[in-house]
Structure 1
Amino acid sequence: MSVIVPPLSLTPSLPARLPTLLRAAGGHPLHDTAATRLIEAQALAANPQPRLMQRAGLVLAQLGQALAPHARQVWVACGPGNNGGDGLQAAAALQTAGYTTSAHWLGTPEDCSPDTLAAWRAAQQAGVQLLDTAPPPLGPQDLAIDALLGIGATAHRSHDPGDSPLNQLLQTLYQSPAPVLCADLPSGLNADTGRYLPGLGFEHPPHSARHTLSFLTLKPGLFTSQGRDAAGTVWWAPLGVEPGLLCQQRPSALLGGPMSRRSRPHDSHKGRFGDVTVIGGEGLALRGMGMGGAAVLAATAALHQGAGRVMLTLLDGGNCKLLPEQPELMLRRIEALRWDQGVVVCGCGGGQAVAAVLPQVLEQAHRLVLDADALNAIAADSHLQRLLASRAHIGLQTILTPHPLEAARMLDLHTDDVQANRLEAAHALAQQTYSTVVLKGSGSIIHSPHQLPCINTSGNALLATGGTGDVLAGMVAAAWAAGLPAHTAAQWAVWQHGHLADTWPAHLPLTASALARCA
């Protein structure tokens, strides 16, 4: 569901569509910087009145008033470009509404755009205090607005010395005890990748609550990698631009959300809901490193997420002392499996033992989820890579669920390269393997060949504990076995996995075994 901010009494002569708070509803298109610039150029060519900058400033002020209705001080940090102009317009509107408003502006009247010059004059006329000294002290009830750098930020700006005015203002915003509202983007964040430009980021999340009001379009970088912590709560203001104008530009991704599962008819039996077979769990005999628990976690998750039957094939010869409370799990030797039935999950806790069975798994499993050690084994073996790439050509389907290090190994990259552009890495891996790819992490990405990628909206750091990835593999398999298409099954499972963490009781620790048993 979306929540609309109540109407506010600001400048009535500048009507603007009020911002929408993004909830977990799915399907919102995400546009990269190139598409956003084209949409902005098309809108400006139509010469809208009031101008886009005036609309952006007003809606920014409206949201600011809703977020901090009792603010004693509002401070706006404005860059030299159009993002700074948005901030100056917001400052003018807030001052007019009765707030004590001050602003730092890094531009000059001689070097700014005509719209930004008009915004500067509006701020002066409204009585905004334009500062060249330290900003006023802010308290938790006050408000700071970040309008320093928008989508026009470029890498060369990041080489300013640490004591430059830009970096000093960024540090002040980072350390602000007041909530910070970012105009379009958190300053310095790459709109396409969710990574900070060099020298403009921070190792830890900011000190106070963050909100971001995205203008015209929603940007992918707000929802993945460092963007989630930087942006905080994301709001969207299309600024009255007609939807048809937006649709002329192809989205670069979709914002994920809850996927509906098929309801079960009363006249049902377990065969309707599919079989899941989990192959994994290296035993102690090989290296003295037993990892059967990972396979049991995946199988348990598939069982509790509704799979009709769940089989477990352990790579220790079939012996398992981990199942006294899981009699529903059916133990199988690999030679007894029916490869054309249901979904196979391979790799969870597989260690080095999984490499020996992977050729058979890759050649025979009709629907296959590859996770963890299976991915590592494939990354190290060119023959297994060829078998994986050939599966789609003979009608076999595959879902991969790598974390960034596993994806880097498969792409022959460093983990930093994957994290630097998660959308591009997921796309490259999907094309290389002809598979649906779930690139895990903050803002997990689901990418399938010939489909728009999806960035997931759910989940938090509670999932950063051993075994939760095995649970996700089992959930993906259960959704796929129940009849959802591969891309949809992955999207649903990733969202549900994160949603369980988002709604986890605060007084209980989140462990993988507890997560696996949640329906």
Structure 2
Amino acid sequence: MRPLLPTTTTLPLFDVAASRRIEARALLHSPDLMARAGLAIAKLALALRRGPGPVWIVCGPGNNGGDGHVAAQRLLEAAVPVHVGHVAPEHPSLVIDALLGLGLNRAPSAELLAPIVAMATCGAPILAVDLPSGLLADTGQPAGERAVRADHTLTLLTLKPGLFTGEGRAHAGRLWFDDLGVAPDEAPTADLLGPAAAPQRRPTSHKGSHGQVLVVGGAPGMQGAARLAARAALACGAGRVYVDLPGLADAEVADPGRPELMRGRLDDVPQAVGVIGCGAGGAIAATLPALLQSLPRVVLDADALNAIAADPALQALVRTRPAGSTLLTPHPLEAARLLGRDTTSVQADRLASARDLARQLGSTVVLKGSGSVIASPAERPALCASGGPALATAGSGDVLAGWLWAQEPDASAHTIACAGVDAHGRAGEVAGVLRAADLVERLAARR
């Protein structure tokens, strides 16, 4: 058993169907699997309980409930008072939520909703077994009106996607993992990202060795967005970074705060990585066709995405670009516009929405948000567990767009997206609010 986050390496994720198959095969070879699970729960409970009160264990009718009953027996053997049932005892030292688990596929009944509410109001810390009750394992969304908000979750045998995206992180609390001694025997459903190695610079490298970036955006009044993207590309290590800002006078510099940034247009750097749309406004629609047809690699963000969503001809241009050359970075509303759906349906299954959009446009998609999803047509999707609420601030998405493809222009969009999204998230793991310009410097310091 070990704490799960922050991840130190990429880990496999398994959806409900895969987890059930793995569990069924494991039970054939390890009939004591429930005994192992119950022992793991009891050990963690001993470390987490507060005070001398009883441990309240809320057991359901399935395997989760069975694990809870085994844990109760182990705790009794350790001379810990235990109360098993759906009605709260007085002054519990810990609640073990073993009510609902992997098999949940609909809203909890009124009978099961009552203990979920009671757990939330009893005042004791909550340890969820495998999943917080009421949370869907594949999507990270509550199945009904309520789901347990645990302080800790011990997930068993496999890692489930719903713990890391949607509302999963808000409900799961601190995550722990025990594989119960079973190695998965099939391919993962998705990857949980770990940190990627920073690109190595050769001793003989020069600025021409590390690519060029052209940031196109920053309409009057919104130039800060493009400048943030350009600063991020510069901090990432791009050899040259150019900014195309409409409305600047001929004598104005690209960014008075960063003299390293240069002004430029498509004709000046036709082989650059294009970062298109940050603060661009509606005028970007007119320049998108030339950019999409000329630039070898593009990151499409913000107003570029809105323009593409509104124009089937632009969508066709995106689809006809070479495989691995196009990266889209929508937030849920932008993804909803591109898919012709509403935001609620996108958020209801973030993995499926990102995969659908990747297939629809033949591109790599970063669906931003809690547990950002990276999906590409020919790749296994990935989830990012790094990051936090400090990144919920103006400009952090512009920084991500500029950072992604800056230093490794020859890498595939999927590889770049996985590395960049995880780095961006880790740099944003601070208390309070992180201003976007400060995020650039934190990213640079971590390279």
Tell me the SS of whatever aligns to 1:478.
Answer: coil
Partner of 2:238: 307
How big is the shift at 1:227? 0.5
- Whether 1:82 and 2:38 are equivalent positions in the alignment is no
Letter in 2 for 1:348: C
Letter in 1 for 2:332: P
How big is the shift at 1:333? 3.6
Partner of 2:393: 465
d(CA) in 1 for partners of 2:224, 2:282: 16
How big is the shift at 1:134? 3.6
Partner of 2:204: 267
d(CA) in 2 for partners of 1:59, 1:459: 28
Pairing partner for 1:38 from 4, 8, 21 = 21
Pairing partner for 2:100 from 141, 149, 169 = 149
Partner of 1:215: 156
Pairing partner for 2:170 from 225, 229, 234 = 229
d(CA) in 2 for partners of 1:480, 1:318: 32
d(CA) in 1 for partners of 2:10, 2:122: 34
How big is the shift at 1:177? 3.0
Partner of 2:263: 331
Comparing 485-494 with 436-445, greater Cα deviation is found at 485-494
How big is the shift at 1:179? 2.0
Tell me the SS of whatever aligns to 1:190.
Answer: coil
Q: Give the share of equivalent positions with the same residue, in percent.
A: 48
Distance change in 2, residues 1:261/1:154 (3 Å): same
Q: 1:129-182, CA deviations, whole angstroms, 9 ceiling, x for partnerless residues?
A: xxxx542223xxx21110010011231x53x33xx3x22211122234322111
Partner of 1:407: 335
User: Is the contact between residue 19 and residue 59 of structure 1 (CA under 8 Å) also seen in structure 2?
Assistant: no
Unaligned 5+ runs, structure 2: none
Describe how 1:350-429 pairs up with structure 2 within 5 A.
Answer: 350-392=280-322, 397-429=325-357
d(CA) in 1 for partners of 2:413, 2:421: 12
User: Is the contact between residue 195 and residue 227 of structure 1 (CA under 8 Å) also seen in structure 2?
Assistant: yes
Partner of 1:174: 120
Tell me the SS of whatever aligns to 2:138.
Answer: coil
d(CA) in 2 for partners of 1:56, 1:352: 56
Letter in 1 for 2:89: P
d(CA) in 2 for partners of 1:330, 1:20: 45
d(CA) in 2 for partners of 1:33, 1:26: 23
How big is the shift at 1:409? 0.6
d(CA) in 2 for partners of 1:310, 1:34: 46
User: Is the contact between residue 343 and residue 480 of structure 1 (CA under 8 Å) also seen in structure 2?
Assistant: no
User: Is the contact between residue 75 and residue 102 of structure 1 (CA under 8 Å) also seen in structure 2?
Assistant: yes
Distance change in 2, residues 1:322/1:363 (3 Å): closer
Describe how 1:90-109 pairs up with structure 2 within 5 A.
Answer: 90-104=71-85
How big is the shift at 1:216? 1.3
Letter in 2 for 1:181: L
State the TM-score, normalized to the length of structure 1.
0.81
Letter in 1 for 2:21: L
Partner of 1:196: 142
Q: Give 1 or 2 for the bigger CA radius of gyration.
A: 1
Letter in 2 for 1:486: A
d(CA) in 1 for partners of 2:73, 2:143: 30
Describe how 1:431-442 pairs up with structure 2 within 5 A.
Answer: 431-442=359-370
d(CA) in 2 for partners of 1:468, 1:358: 23
- Whether 1:279 and 2:194 are equivalent positions in the alignment is no
Tell me the SS of whatever aligns to 2:321.
Answer: helix
d(CA) in 2 for partners of 1:43, 1:493: 36
How big is the shift at 1:321? 7.2
How big is the shift at 1:25? 2.0
d(CA) in 1 for partners of 2:412, 2:265: 28
User: Is the contact between residue 213 and residue 242 of structure 2 (CA under 8 Å) also seen in structure 1?
Assistant: yes
Letter in 2 for 1:272: S
Partner of 1:516: 440
d(CA) in 2 for partners of 1:88, 1:475: 49
Q: 1:231-274, CA deviations, whole angstroms, 9 ceiling, x for partnerless residues?
A: 12222222222x2xx22x33110111111112223322111111
How big is the shift at 1:24? 1.4
How big is the shift at 1:396? 7.2
Q: 1:92-114, CA deviations, whole angstroms, 9 ceiling, x for partnerless residues?
A: 11111111111115xxxxxxxxx
Tell me the SS of whatever aligns to 2:402.
Answer: helix
State the TM-score, normalized to the length of structure 2.
0.94
Partner of 1:137: 91
Partner of 1:444: 372
User: Is the contact between residue 157 and residue 178 of structure 2 (CA under 8 Å) also seen in structure 1?
Assistant: yes
How big is the shift at 1:186? 0.5
How big is the shift at 1:509? 4.6
d(CA) in 1 for partners of 2:407, 2:50: 45
User: Is the contact between residue 479 and residue 489 of structure 1 (CA under 8 Å) also seen in structure 2?
Assistant: no
Letter in 2 for 1:88: H
d(CA) in 2 for partners of 1:137, 1:390: 63
Letter in 2 for 1:325: G
User: Is the contact between residue 75 and residue 136 of structure 1 (CA under 8 Å) also seen in structure 2?
Assistant: no
Tell me the SS of whatever aligns to 1:42.
Answer: helix
d(CA) in 2 for partners of 1:23, 1:297: 27
Describe how 1:12-27 pairs up with structure 2 within 5 A.
Answer: 18-19=1-2, 21-27=4-10
d(CA) in 1 for partners of 2:324, 2:248: 27
d(CA) in 1 for partners of 2:63, 2:415: 39
Partner of 1:56: 37
Q: 1:314-362, CA deviations, whole angstroms, 9 ceiling, x for partnerless residues?
A: 132566577222111101244x33222x311000001111111001011
Distance change in 2, residues 1:323/1:212 (3 Å): same
Distance change in 2, residues 1:55/1:348 (3 Å): same
Unaligned 5+ runs, structure 1: 1-17, 106-132, 284-289
User: Is the contact between residue 184 and residue 212 of structure 1 (CA under 8 Å) also seen in structure 2?
Assistant: yes
d(CA) in 2 for partners of 1:84, 1:333: 63
How big is the shift at 1:217? 0.8
Pairing partner for 2:195 from 236, 258, 271 = 258
